[in-house]
Amino acid sequence: MNKVEFAQVDETLYHERLENGLEVYLLQKKGFSKTYATFTTKYGSIDNHFVPHGETEAVKVPDGIAHFLEHKMFEKEEGDIFQEFSKQGASANAFTSFTRTAYLFSATGQIEENVGTLLDFVQNPYFTEKTVDKEKGIIAQEITMYDDQPDWRLYFGMIENLYEEHPVKIDIAGTVDSIQDITAEHLYTCYETFYHPSNMMLFVVGAVEPEEMMDFIRTNQASKQFDPPAPIERKYPQEMKRAAIKERTLEMAVQKPKVFVGVKPERLDFQGKEMLKHELSAQLAFELLFGRTSDFYYEAYENDWIDESYSFDYSIEEGFGYALFGTDTTVPEVFAEQVEKVFDRTIEKWSFGQDALDRVRRKRIGFFLRAMNSPEYIANQFTRYAFNDMNLFDVVPVLEEIKMADLQQAFSLVSAKEQRSVFTIVSPEKAEQ
Amino acid sequence: MFQTRKLAAGVQLHVHQTAQFKTINLSIRFKGKLTEQKAAARSVLANILQHSNAKYPSQMAFRIALDDLYGTSMYIDSAKRGNGHVMNLHAETVNDQYLSEQGVLDQVFAIMQAALLEPNLEQGLFKETIFNREKNNVKQRLESLIDDKTRYAQHRMLELALPGHPASIPSNGTIEEVENLTNQLVMDEYRSMLEENEVEIYIVGDVDPEEMAAKVQQYFPFEGREIPGKMPALVLTKPAQSHVLETAEMKQGKLHMAFYTPVTFRDAQFPVMQVMNGVLGGYAHSKLFTNIREKESMAYYVSSSYASHFGLMFVLAGIDQEMEQKAVKLVLEQLDSVKAGDISDTEMMQTKALLINSLKESLDSARGQIELDDQYTEMAGGLEPERLIENWQNVTKEDVSEAAKLLSLEMTYFLSGKEGSDDE
C-alpha cells in the first residue's frame, strides 16, 4: 500500500492497485463519523460502440444502456440490494454520467460490511428478460420527468448543437423508445466488457482505518475469479472542430425564455497534468471575463439581460467538452450577442493584469479548500480526475503555477466564432409573436 | 457540542470549537414572525443586503472583496419554522492555517458587519435602483416556480389546502406581496429584524470561544430585545376541496397527497411519526418504494415526507397521466398495511438504522450541526444525539401502527398535461 501526504491540505491518501487490476484509494478524514464510498467503472453513456469482451467485431448498443445497467445492478435473485444497505444503516445510490457509472453509499457504522456489499453487488450481475422488461416502466418515468425540466432540455439542446457525431449528444438515459430495445443479453455484453476490476476504481473516504480496510478489500477481491485484464476497444466517431449547429430554438412552456451560449473546445485530446492545467486556466479566464466581478456581469445585471439563474461553466473530458454561459432572460438574443461580443473583444485584446489573476486564483483555492470538507466531493472528483490521469490533489499546486499566458492560451482554444453556438427555449405563444 | 452564552436578552452565541473542518462557518440567524408580507419583504431585503453596502457600494466591489478573502462564500437565505421565519446570514471562510496569510477571519467579520449593518442608503431608504431591481429579481424567481413541476405542484396543493396558513406561505413570500412592497416597507422590516428579532449566532471551526465572543460583541453589538412567548400550536383546518385536478403543459403526472396528523415536532410522539414516515415512504426500503416503484414499475420517484412543524405528511409520485386512481389506491393500501400493523422486524430495523445514520451524517457538516442545533433549541433538552437515537430505538411496531391511524388524507392533488394540447 502506498501512502502519499498532501501537507498543504493536510490529507493523507492511501493507494493500492490490486492483483485483479482494481485501483483502491482510501482517505481518512479525522473527526468524521461518516464514511462515503464510491465504486466506479470507466463506462458511461458515450461508450455505445465497442468490441465486446472476448470478441473481435465492434457492436453498437441501444441508447441509454449504461444507465439502464446501473438500475439493474441493484436487483438480485434474492431481492433488492437497497434492502441490504438499509439493514446495515447505509444509504446507497448510483449515477451514470457521460463517462462513468458510480455506485455509492454513505454510512456511519458497519463500514466493512457496507464496503463488502458494495463490491459484491456490483461484481455479481443478475439480469433476466423479466427483470429487464419490468425496469422499462420505471426508467420511462425517469426520462419523462427529465423531459418536463426546461433546464435539462436546455443543457442537452446545447450539447446537440455543439456535437455532430459524438455520442455525448445522446441523452444519458436514452429515450422511451430506445430503452425498449434493451435486452438482458445486451446488459451482460456491456457488463462483461466494462465492469472488469481493471476498468474500475474504489474510493473510500471518511472514518476508515486504512490498514484494516485495505486488508478487507484485498481479501474480498482475492476470493473472486476474474479473467486477466484486457484492453477495451472503444470506438468514437471523428468529430469536427466547429459547432455542428450555429443556432436553434426549442418551443416549450417556460415562464421566461432560457438561453445558452456554448463553445466547443478546439483540442479534445488533453490528458493528465496538461488537461488539469488547461481546464483550470480556462475556468479562471472565464471567471475573469464572465464572473461576478467582470465588466460583462456588471453590464448584464444593470441592463436586465440576466437574472439570478445566470451561470457559466467549463469542463472537458477525453473527446468532448464545452463551455456554457446561460440565463433565463426576456432578451435571449441580446444576451447571446453580448456574450459573443466579449469573446470577439477578448480574441483581439487580452486586458487583465496580475492582480485580477491573483484574485480569481485565490477564490478558486478557497473553493477547493471548502470542498475538502465534503467526502462526496473528494471521492467523485478524485475518480473523475484519475480516469483522465489527473490528480485531484494537484489542483492547488497547479493553480499556484498558472500564469497569465496559460489563461490566454486556454482561452484561445475555447473561443473561435465557428466553435460557438446558441440554443434558446421559448414558450410557444412567445415564438409566434 | 455547542458552547452557548447569552450576549444580551434574546441574543445568543453558540460556538463549536473543532478541528474537523478546514473552514470556519459563521451564521447569524434572525427569527421573526411568518406572514406573507414579512416573508416577501425579507426576501427582497436579503437580495439588497447581498448586492452591496456603504463600504462596498457596488456589487463588483463587494464581490472583489469576498474573492480576495480566498473566495469567502457569503449568502443570506430564508426558511420557515412553524409560524416563524428565519433569515440566515451565512459565511464560510478558509481557516488561516491552510494559507500563507493571517487575519482572514477578522476581515470576514468586518465584511459581514458591512453587509448586515451598513447598507447602501440614500435619504434613509435603500438605494432606489437596487431596491427596484432586486424586487423584480425576487418576483421573477417566484414566477419561475412553475418551470419546476414538482415544486409547483406541492406549492399549489398547499395553497389550495391551507390558504393563509404558515404551511402554505412560501419562505420567499408571494408574488402579490412582493409586488406590493415599497422601499419603506422593506426598510421597516430591516429595522425590525435588527432590533426586535431573536438572534442566534453560530460559529463552527478551529476557533477559541472566548475570542469569538469578543469579536462578535465588537462587530455585532446587538442590544437586548424582548423574547416572545412560546408560539401557539398551529391549527389545521379542513381544505375546501379534497380532490383537485389541474393541468399544465407537461408530460408526466404529478401526484401530491396531504395527510394531517396531530403529532408535531413538540410532541412526545414525534419520534414515532418519524419512524412511521420512514416505514411508509421515507427510504428505498419503504413500502411505497418497494411496491409502487419496484413491484408495479409505475414511478421513478415515490416517497413520503413529514413536515413535523405543521403536523403534515406528504406523499409525492411522478406517474403516467392515466395512473392517478391506481396510484392513490396503492398508496392508501400501503398506509392501510401500516395501520394494520403489517410491519416486519426488518422494516423497523432498517428505518431506525437510516434515521440514526442521517442524524450522524448531518453532524459531519458544519452547516448540519448549526441547523440541527438551531432546530432543537425549542425542544426540551435541546440537541442530544444520544437521546434522539434512544427515542427511535424505543419505538415499537404497535406505536407505528397507532401513529398511522392518526393520519387523515385531506387533499389529493394531481397536476397533469393538458389533453390534446399537441393540437393547439
pLDDT tens column, A292-308: 999 999 999 999 999 99
Contact B297, A134 (CB under 8 A): yes
pLDDT at position B232, please?
A: 77
Residue B415 to chain A, least CA–CA distance (Å): 12
Contact B220, B7 (CB under 8 A): no
If phi > 0 it is left, if psi is from -120 to 50 it is alpha, else beta; for residue A174 that is: left
Measured CA to CA, the distance from residue A107 to residue A86 in angstroms comes to 10
Q: Span A248-256, mean pLDDT?
A: 96
**pLDDT for residue A171 is more than 90:** yes
Of the pLDDT bands very low, low, confident and very high (cuts 50, 70, 90), residue A433 is very low
Q: What is the largest CA-CA distance in chain B?
A: 70
Cβ of B356 and A108 within 8 Å?
yes
**pLDDT for residue A46 is more than 70:** yes
pLDDT at position B421, please?
A: 43
**pLDDT for residue B234 is more than 90:** no
Contact B38, B32 (CB under 8 A): yes
Q: Which residue, among A89, A374, A115, has the nearest Cα to B364 in the 3D structure? A: A374
Q: Which of B184-188, B263-267, B349-353 comes out lowest in average pLDDT?
A: B263-267
Q: Span A368-381, mean pLDDT?
A: 95
The 3-state DSSP composition of chain B as helix, strand, coil percent (nearest 5) reads 45, 20, 30
Measured CA to CA, the distance from residue B43 to residue B177 in angstroms comes to 11
With the CA atoms of B265, B270, B271 and B274 taken in that order, what torsion angle do they form, in degrees rounded to the nearest 10?
Answer: -80
Residues of chain A neighbouring B301 (CB-CB closer than 8 A):
141, 145
The 3-state DSSP composition of chain A as helix, strand, coil percent (nearest 5) reads 45, 20, 35
For the four alpha carbons of A230, A236, A241 and A243, in that order, the dihedral sign comes to negative
Measured CA to CA, the distance from residue B169 to residue B85 in angstroms comes to 10
Cβ of B60 and A292 within 8 Å?
yes
Q: Span A15-37, mean pLDDT?
A: 96
Query: Considering chain B, what is the average pLDDT of its residues?
Result: 94
Cβ of A135 and B297 within 8 Å?
yes
**pLDDT for residue B194 is more than 60:** yes
Chain B's closest residue to A150, CA to CA, is B147
Active site residues of A: 70
pLDDT at position B420, please?
A: 45
pLDDT at position B419, please?
A: 59
Regarding beta strands B23-33 and B11-17, do their DSSP bridges make them parallel or antiparallel, or are they unpaired?
unpaired
Contact B46, B76 (CB under 8 A): yes
Q: How many CB pairs under 8 A join A and B?
A: 185
Measured CA to CA, the distance from residue A282 to residue A407 in angstroms comes to 6
* Cβ–Cβ contact A134 with B under 8 A: yes
Q: Span B116-122, mean pLDDT?
A: 96
Cβ of B64 and A359 within 8 Å?
yes
Q: Phi then psi for B44, rounded to 5 degrees?
A: -70, -40
pLDDT at position A338, please?
A: 98
Query: Model pTM?
Result: 0.95
Measured CA to CA, the distance from residue B27 to residue A74 in angstroms comes to 40
Residue of A75, A113, A143, A148 best to disrupt the B interface, most CBs of B under 10 A: A148
Measured CA to CA, the distance from residue A128 to residue A72 in angstroms comes to 10
Residues of chain A neighbouring B60 (CB-CB closer than 8 A):
292-293, 297-298
Q: Of A18 and B96, which is predicted with more confidence?
A: A18
Nearest to A87 among B144, B298, B350 (CB): B350
Q: How open is the CA angle B154-B158-B162, to the nearest 5 degrees? A: 175
Cβ of B67 and A293 within 8 Å?
yes
Of the pLDDT bands very low, low, confident and very high (cuts 50, 70, 90), residue A9 is confident
Residues of chain B neighbouring A89 (CB-CB closer than 8 A):
353-354, 356-357
Share of chain B above pLDDT 90, in %: 88
Residues 102-121 in A contacting B (C-alpha not used; CB under 8 Å) = 106-109
Residue A82 to chain B, least CA–CA distance (Å): 6
Residue B273 to chain A, least CA–CA distance (Å): 19
**pLDDT for residue B101 is more than 90:** no
Q: Which of A314-323, B67-76, B84-93, B197-206 comes out lowest in average pLDDT?
A: B67-76
Q: Span A221-250, mean pLDDT?
A: 96
A71 strand-pairing partners: none
* Cβ–Cβ contact A361 with B under 8 A: no
- Which grid cell sits at B289? 418504494
Measured CA to CA, the distance from residue A347 to residue B216 in angstroms comes to 48
pLDDT digit string, tens, across residues B299-316: 999 999 999 999 999 999
Chain B's closest residue to A365, CA to CA, is B70
Residues 214-243 in A contacting B (C-alpha not used; CB under 8 Å) = none
Residue B278 to chain A, least CA–CA distance (Å): 11
Cβ of A298 and B58 within 8 Å?
yes
With the CA atoms of B223, B228, B230 and B233 taken in that order, what torsion angle do they form, in degrees rounded to the nearest 10?
Answer: -130
Chain B's closest residue to A293, CA to CA, is B60
Residues of chain B neighbouring A304 (CB-CB closer than 8 A):
133, 136
* Residue B100, CB-side half-sphere exposure with 13 Å CA sphere: 3
pLDDT digit string, tens, across residues B368-409: 999 999 988 877 777 889 999 999 999 999 999 999 999 999
Measured CA to CA, the distance from residue B251 to residue B416 in angstroms comes to 7
Query: Considering chain A, what is the average pLDDT of its residues?
Result: 96
Measured N-to-C along each axis, helices B104-117 and B36-51 cross at an angle, to the nearest 10 degrees, of: 130
Residues of chain B neighbouring A367 (CB-CB closer than 8 A):
71
Nearest to A148 among B252, B297, B360 (CB): B252
Question: Between the CA of residue A269 and those of A278, A285, B127, B304, what are the distances in Å?
Answer: 11, 20, 50, 46
Of the pLDDT bands very low, low, confident and very high (cuts 50, 70, 90), residue B70 is confident
Q: Which residue, among A242, A427, A273, A413, has the nearest Cα to A343 in the 3D structure? A: A413
* Cβ–Cβ contact A400 with B under 8 A: no
Measured CA to CA, the distance from residue A291 to residue A361 in angstroms comes to 13
Nearest to B92 among A9, A292, A370 (CB): A370
Q: Which residue, among B174, B202, B164, has the nearest Cα to B3 in the 3D structure? A: B202
- Which grid cell sits at A266? 478546439
Share of chain A above pLDDT 70, in %: 99
**pLDDT for residue A170 is more than 80:** yes
Chain B's closest residue to A72, CA to CA, is B294
Q: Which residue, among B310, B350, B19, has the nearest Cα to B165 in the 3D structure? A: B310
Chain B's closest residue to A90, CA to CA, is B354
pLDDT digit string, tens, across residues B197-233: 999 999 999 999 999 999 999 999 999 999 887 777 7
pLDDT digit string, tens, across residues B340-359: 999 999 999 999 999 999 99
